[in-house]
């Protein structure tokens, strides 16, 4: 704090690149995204075991693999809409905003005539009061806004718990038959589809709130000319807000996306550990392997481990998740079980909310498809997803089959056939890679 040419200047320390509130949510969301991506990779890792031990064919395995992505695509937009939805009514929000504005006006302690008085000292004092009360009311508004925007804090842990349970149930469903496995993976896709959009909605909420209250570095609190002060404050806030918002949101988003691919890496790494001979010996000694007639089934452990980790992560980051809302909802429903009128009102509210959400989803879909950039992004995602998950889903199986052929063939005929299989796989991969040019063409149209 210093005086400079009759101006009272207050400087605050520069805010960190990622404020604590945004950092804590980004870590929690990144960990949740990591385990969700590990869950989706388990069926690809266990593909060979599913074919050999359960006697499936590749067509049935393909249906099981694709069922997940069908469900995942259906709930993507729902996850974003639900994650960004506030938990209180718009009336409460309006009252809060009006109350904040009133507190600023009352805190200034003066009318327009008093504010433009002739006494310079009184004018500077009132300017200080305005900025002080604005900061206090802004902090109060931030806390109230944080309480209202709890959609993503409920959707993400709910998705995490349900995906964990669905993953644990997959071995049982697979042993019951391909149809049950398809239903399990489709349900997993529906439940996991809302997780990443809710995580990104949380990133948007936490970074926006943090940015709006960390852009006061170097604000001039009082000066000789009121107009100059107001202009300087507005300019500095605008510059700091734009720069800070870009840096904070980009960093937080990168942390979440990094968790997605780290989860995929963990899935394949855990398979490498579990399927190793040393691990199988120890697991058999500890009684964790299911003994079949000829061999021990290792692949169910992949699903059990990742499913349990999903439940563990929910508990580990419970401070970032709104788990109390579940208990409150459960207690409220049990206490009003005998009240028919309240139940009817709750049903009406839920139905109206569902209609609003459906309208929002349809509106977002129309705006995306009607936009040239939106169509280009959708086409790019389809092309990238087709290549990425074709390799991720079928790559381990084909590599294992190639390895089996190369180690068991002893004749030139068998060697030739294996080389032709490798060649056809390489051609298919090249075609898939070349198809990525399609999004660029659609963007130019």
Mean pLDDT for 385-404 is: 71
CA pair distance 211, 205, nearest whole angstrom: 10
Is 106 within a domain?
A: no
Q: Tell me: the pLDDT tens digits for 254-313?
A: 899 888 888 888 888 887 788 888 888 888 888 777 655 445 688 899 899 999 999 999
Q: In this predicted model, which residue has the larger pLDDT, 351 or 93?
A: 351
Is 133 within a domain?
A: no
Which distant-in-sequence residues (6+ apart) come within 8 Å of 336 by Cβ? Answer: 342, 343, 346
* 307 lies in the same domain as 433: no
**Domain CATH code at residue 38:** 1.20.1250.20
* 328 lies in the same domain as 377: no
Is 169 within a domain?
A: yes
CA pair distance 394, 338, nearest whole angstrom: 54
Of 307, 335, 363, the residue that ends a domain is: 335
Q: Which of 8-22, 154-168, 252-266, 288-302 has the lowest mean pLDDT?
A: 8-22
Q: Tell me: the pLDDT tens digits for 380-392?
A: 777 777 777 777 7
* 331 lies in the same domain as 381: no
* 170 lies in the same domain as 78: yes
Residue 291 three-state SS: strand
Is 144 within a domain?
A: no
Is 101 within a domain?
A: no
Q: Which of 93-102, 113-122, 225-234 has the lowest mean pLDDT?
A: 93-102
* 229 lies in the same domain as 158: yes
* 179 lies in the same domain as 321: yes
Interaxial angle between packed helices 195-212 and 76-83, expressed in degrees from 0 to 180 and rounded to the nearest 10? 30
Would you place residue 191 in the very low, low, confident or very high pLDDT band (cuts 50, 70, 90)? very high
pTM of the model: 0.66
CA pair distance 396, 398, nearest whole angstrom: 6
What pLDDT is recorded for position 139? Answer: 52
Number of domains observed in the structure of the chain? 2
What pLDDT is recorded for position 313? Answer: 94
Is 82 within a domain?
A: yes
Instruction: Give how far Cα 315 sits from Cα of 34, 96, 217, 302, 309, Å.
Output: 16, 32, 37, 21, 10
Whether residue 323 is predicted with pLDDT greater than 90 in this model: the reply is no
What pLDDT is recorded for position 317? Answer: 93
Asked whether 199 and 74 are in contact (CB, 8 A), the reply is no
Is 364 within a domain?
A: no
CA pair distance 170, 162, nearest whole angstrom: 13
Of 288, 314, 335, the residue that ends a domain is: 335
Q: The domain containing residue 270 runs over which residues? A: 2-87+149-335
Would you place residue 315 in the very low, low, confident or very high pLDDT band (cuts 50, 70, 90)? very high
Is 107 within a domain?
A: no
Whether residue 164 is predicted with pLDDT greater than 70 in this model: the reply is yes
């Amino acid at each position: 704090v210093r005086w400079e040419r009759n101006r009272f200047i207050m400087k605050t320390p520069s805010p960190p690149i990622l404020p604590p509130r945004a950092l804590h949510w980004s870590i929690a969301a990144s960990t949740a995204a990591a385990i969700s991506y590990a869950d989706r990779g388990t069926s690809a890792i266990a593909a060979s075991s599913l074919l050999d031990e359960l006697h499936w064919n590749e067509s049935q395995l393909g249906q099981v693999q694709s069922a997940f992505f069908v469900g995942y695509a259906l709930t993507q937009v729902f996850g974003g809409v639900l994650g960004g939805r506030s938990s209180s009514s718009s009336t409460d929000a309006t009252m809060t905003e009006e109350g904040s504005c009133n507190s600023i006006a009352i805190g200034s302690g003066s009318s327009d005539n008093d504010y433009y008085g002739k006494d310079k000292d009184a004018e500077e004092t009132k300017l200080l009061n305005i900025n002080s009360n604005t900061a206090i009311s802004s902090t109060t508004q931030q806390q109230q806004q944080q309480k209202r925007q709890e959609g993503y804090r409920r959707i993400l842990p709910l998705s995490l718990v349900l995906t964990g349970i669905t993953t644990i149930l997959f071995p049982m469903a697979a042993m019951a038959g391909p149809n049950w496995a398809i239903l399990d993976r489709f349900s997993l896709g529906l439940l996991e589809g809302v997780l990443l959009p809710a995580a990104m909605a949380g990133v948007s909420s936490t970074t926006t709130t943090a940015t709006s209250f960390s852009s006061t570095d170097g604000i001039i609190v009082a000066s000789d000319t009121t107009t100059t002060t107001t202009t300087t404050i507005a300019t500095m806030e605008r510059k700091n807000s734009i720069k800070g918002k870009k840096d904070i949101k980009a960093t937080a988003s990168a942390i979440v996306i990094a968790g997605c691919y780290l989860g995929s890496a963990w899935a394949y790494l855990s398979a490498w550990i579990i399927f190793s001979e040393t691990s199988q010996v120890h697991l058999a000694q500890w009684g964790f392997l299911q003994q079949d007639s000829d061999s021990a089934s290792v692949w169910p452990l992949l699903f059990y481990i990742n499913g349990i980790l999903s439940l563990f992560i929910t508990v580990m980051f419970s401070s970032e998740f709104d788990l109390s809302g579940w208990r409150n909802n459960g207690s409220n429903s049990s206490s009003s079980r005998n009240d028919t009128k309240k139940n009817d009102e709750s049903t009406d509210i839920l139905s109206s909310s569902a209609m609003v959400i459906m309208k929002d989803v349809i509106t977002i879909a129309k705006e995306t498809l009607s936009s040239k950039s939106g169509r280009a992004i959708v086409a790019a995602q389809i092309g990238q997803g087709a290549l990425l998950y074709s390799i991720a889903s079928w790559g381990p199986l084909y590599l294992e089959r190639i390895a089996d052929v190369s180690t068991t063939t002893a004749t030139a005929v068998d060697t030739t056939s294996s080389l032709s299989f490798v060649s056809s796989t390489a051609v298919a991969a090249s075609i898939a890679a070349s198809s990525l040019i399609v999004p660029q063409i659609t963007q130019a149209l």
